[in-house]
Amino acid sequence: MTQSVAGKPSGKYVPPIRFGLGGVPLGNEFEVITDEDAYRTLDAAWSAGLRYYDVSPWYGLGLAERRFGYYLHNKNRNEYVLSSKVGKLLKASRRNDAKSNFPFSPSPNNVVFDYTADGVRRSVEDSLQRLGIEAGRATEIPVAVSRLGLPAWTMPSLSSASSVEIMPITPPSNA
């Protein structure tokens, strides 16, 4: 679907869903949110008809992904859109500095930024694990996470943009 301006197509992608729930607060970004409160929030959003959910490994260093995955894993996958970001790998560490980024997160992980092809692939695989969504064959990945994005702040030349264009995931040609 493309957007139109004054009746003329602009060529810009317009997602089919205009409103969604972001995962930052459910990753304990601003305060401690209990699992119970997180699931009540997700349930209220679902009951209100929200079907677009945005998560990231960054949100609570995996906590938001685990919470969204736990809630969504029994829902029909064709009924919602899930987006995530790539390039952030979570590594368990005894010298954990998670509290410097997320003071309310119980995460044992440090974040490693890796935007190489292997890093992006690993980031998707790790997110699917935390979400509890089976990747299975490569052809199933598009139905697991609907959209992936690369935050613009990760690349200095893009700092004036709010984000790099989010694109649908397509399976590799050898799948």
Active site residues: 59
Residue 165 DSSP label: P
Report the DSSP beta bridge partners of residue 112: 89
Query: Are the beta carbons of 106 and 70 closer than 8 angstroms?
Result: no
Report the DSSP beta bridge partners of residue 110: 91
Give backbone dihedrals phi and psi of 154, rounded to 5 degrees, phi first. Answer: -80, -15
Query: Of the candidates 71, 90, 80, 81, which has an alpha carbon nearest to the alpha carbon of residue 169?
Result: 81
The amino acid occupying position 55 is V
Both tokens of 103, joined, read 């003071």
Q: Which residues contact 173 (CB under 8 A, 6 or more apart)?
A: none
Is beta strand 109-113 parallel, antiparallel or unpaired with respect to 52-54? Answer: unpaired
Give the separation between CA 116 and CA 97, rounded to whole angstroms.
Answer: 23
